[in-house]
Structure 1
Amino acid sequence: MGGSYRLLRLFGIDILVHWSWLAIFVLLTWWLSQGFFNDEYEDWTTGQRWAAAVVAALAFFASILLHELAHSLVARREGLPVKSITLFIFGGVSALGAEPETPGQEFRVAIVGPLVSFILAAIFGAVAFVAFLSDAGDSPPGAIVLYLAIINAAVGVFNLLPGYPLDGGRVLRAVLWAVGRNLLMATRWASWVGTFIAFLLIAIGVISILMGNFVGGAWFIVIGWFLRNVADASYQQLRFRSTLGGTKVGDLANRSFSAAPPDISLDTLVDEYMLANSQRCVPVVVAAELLGLVTMADLKRVPRKDWGTTSVFGAMTPREKLHQVDVREDVPRALEVMTRENVNQLPVTEFGRFIGFVSRGDVLRLMEIRSELRGAGPEGRS
């Protein structure tokens, strides 16, 4: 996730913090100090409310981290690589290097997160109950553990809603996958339920705003919108992987291209390479070694009047800044890189040697052709 920074490393897993986490941390701290603690504990001083709010907000995000860490550790035990955990505005997300291969794997990885949240809720609830019995329930520590009990229980319940990509949606997908032996169909149904839940949250948000609760209503709408987009994107991504499963970058690489020397001008490059060969991206090569690429984006960075005096070498994106893919990489992986880096083509290498390009257009055309040939759509994975 772009805009994320490494915070620490736990159990060999990088813990990242996205810049949006700071925004939600500030908002949550403000709401706790001016809302929850202010309304429920009127005898507290302003300093007590703010101190308790900061501690409670930090402890809440620590709880979210434990929730995601549980997902990651179980995934790793199941043999799935775990890249990182990122805390962001909507909570946390574990980045897995591969999808579960069986319904059992999916179920175990998904269910453990809510279970950890409920365990935390029970622990904090027990501490809050003891504090209440000892007349310390109205103290800042007692109030903090009560809040943590409530919020962790809420996180557990919310994540068990049976809509993909929530944990409950993944549990539903695992069950449907086990029953129907079709991962794509199971994902489609779980995504539909996720979309319904998303629109329900948006409707609740609109009603809340009409009733005067603007902040709470807006938050419901934002969460609903986020879940709607992720549910659809997750299904489309799996559909894409299913359609292009087994296709390697080398099968799709365009090996017919004209390479330019580094010392010609951009005017010459445009006239004799790009326009003459209908080539939007030109490799810069010397003695069979790739030095860099000149793309349309590179050209646009140079004023048109300077094309005659600017060399290809001066305008190109150098090789060390390029994201390259090997011929043995899966095509879906190449498209992920293009999407993440916001580029339309990638250099393809074989044993470290540049041999051609793979483009976003080539990938999408292949997917369209295969989908049409299959007629009823891609087959599910059993």
Structure 2
Amino acid sequence: MKGALFLGKYADIKVFLHWTFFVLPVWIGISAFRQGYSWEAISWNILLVLAIFVCITLHEFGHALIARKYNCKTRSITLLPIGGVASMEAIPENPKEELNVALAGPLVNIVIATSLYLALSVSGSPMPSFDKDFVIGSDNFLYVLMYANFFIALFNMIPAFPMDGGRVFRALLAIKISRTKATRITAAFAQVIAVLFILIGFFYNFFLIIIGVFVLLGARSEWFVEYSRFMLREHTVKDILIHRYESMEAGSSIEDAVKHLLDSTEDHFLVMEEGKVVGTVNKEILLKGLDDHDSHVPVREIMDRSFRTLHPDDELSEVYNPQKGLLKSGHLMPVIENGKLLGVLDFENIAEFIQVRTSLLRRKKASMGAENINS
């Protein structure tokens, strides 16, 4: 992952630390220093942040390991200043399964907080007084971490995307109504909550504005993905297969390929060798190839070999799955049946199909409305 530090992996799930994470402890350290805290107190504050993010990592693993039970893989977990993000290839569409996955994360934090509470009770450690002079130190560190885990669990249960509570809310709705309608209701509710966060943030805490924007973008993204996949259901690759496509030979020079680019209305091409697809190139790859290589170098040296192959009967709702990260703008996907190349598909064509379906649906609803008025 670009801009992220690889920390390691567990159960084939990679853990990354995004570079923006380092802004948080630096900001906390500077804020504490300005308030006159000692270096020891500043160190405890930073240590608390790191401990909380360990708990957040465990929270995300809670989601990932339960999702694995339902054959939903998680590629990675990325730690950001605002929390952790698990990159799941899919989220269970069965409401009860999604409910279990969504609840797993907050449950991890509840277990951590409860364990700390029991351990502190057994040890007889006195409850700290959270007054205006409160400073985090060795005597109250675990208490603060305990409350932080309770807060993480509670905050994540806000019924708004992209928080766990939003997925819980959708799953409960989806038991009675369709997943698409449940997503629309949850996304609308999330946007109301986001606006409230932003308005309150202007008067009380700027951080609430950041959370509000985060919720707003998350709600819109979740609805867009669900709506797009809904519009593609019951359609397969062969329904929108592109039969006219451009190609070039793997042995062609970069110079010839660029001439081909300039002489064509297309920006991306299949690369063929002995009648078979061996890669793809687009305008960006060719221009970078000109910068980094001699113009006589063959295209096979710069082509993208990680193309995705489709079958004409593949469902479009599965092909278009942003969570799997397999569909990229500007990348051709050859469609092959019994070893024969039938055509290609790309992100832009799928997006256009969704737009066409949306327009037809709007026209149908408008016509039905007009008929009801006339009747």
Could you say which TM-score interval applies, normalised by the shorter chain?
A: 0.7 to 0.9
Per the alignment, residue 148 of structure 1 pairs with 145
Counterpart code for 2:332:
L
Alignment of 1:74-223 (within 5 A): 74-127=66-119, 130-132=124-126, 140-179=137-176, 181-208=177-204, 216-217=205-206, 219-223=207-211
- Give 1:117 shift: 2.0
Number of the residue aligned with 2:350? 363
**Distance in 2 between the 1:367 and 1:6 partners?**
37
Residue identity matched to 1:157: L
Identity of aligned residues (%): 23
* 5+ long unaligned stretches in structure 1: 39-45, 209-215, 378-382
Mean CA deviation greater in 7-16 or 311-320: 311-320
Structure 2 counterpart SS, 1:8? strand
Is 1:238 paired with 2:226?
Answer: yes
Range that drifts further, 115-124 or 170-179:
115-124
Partner of 2:7, secondary structure, is: strand
Contact 1:262 1:312 in 2 (8 A): no
Q: Deviations over 1:206-238 (max 9, x none)?
A: 113xxxxxxx41x22222111111110111101
Equivalent residue of 2:185, what SS?
Answer: helix
Cα separation, 2, equivalents of 1:228 and 1:342: 24
Distance in 2 between the 1:63 and 1:33 partners? 26
Q: TM-score, normalised by structure 1?
A: 0.77
Partner of 2:284: 297
Query: Conserved in 2, the CA contact under 8 Å of 1:128 and 1:143?
Result: no
The equivalent of 2:26 in structure 1 is 26
Question: What's the secondary structure of 1:365's corresponding residue?
Answer: helix
Partner of residue 245, structure 2 = 257
Change (3 A) 1:27 1:330: farther
User: In 2, distance between residues paired with 1:8 and 1:66?
Assistant: 14
TM-score normalised by L of structure 2: 0.79
Amino acid corresponding to residue 253 of structure 1 in structure 2: L
Q: Taking structure 1 as reference, are residues 278 and 108 closer, same or farther at Cα in structure 2, changes over 3 Å only?
A: same
Q: Does the CA contact (< 8 Å) of 2:250 and 2:300 recur in 1?
A: no
CA distance in structure 1 between the aligned counterparts of 2:219 and 2:315, rounded to whole angstroms = 23
RMSD value over aligned CA atoms? 3.7
Q: Which residue of 1 aligns with 2:269?
A: 282
1:114 offset after TM fit, Å?
A: 2.0
Query: Equivalent residue for 2:6?
Result: 6
SS, match of residue 78 in structure 2:
strand
Check whether the contact 1:33–1:49 (CA below 8 A) recurs between aligned residues: no
1:2–1:32 CA distance, 2 compared to 1 (3 A): same
Q: 1:263 to 1:65 in 2, by over 3 A?
A: closer
Match of 1:213 in 2: none
Deviates more, 1:158-167 or 1:122-131: 122-131
Is the contact between residue 293 and residue 316 of structure 1 (CA under 8 Å) also seen in structure 2? no
- Single out whichever of 198-207 and 108-117 deviates more from structure 2: 108-117
1:160 Cα offset (Å): 1.3
SS at match of 1:343: coil
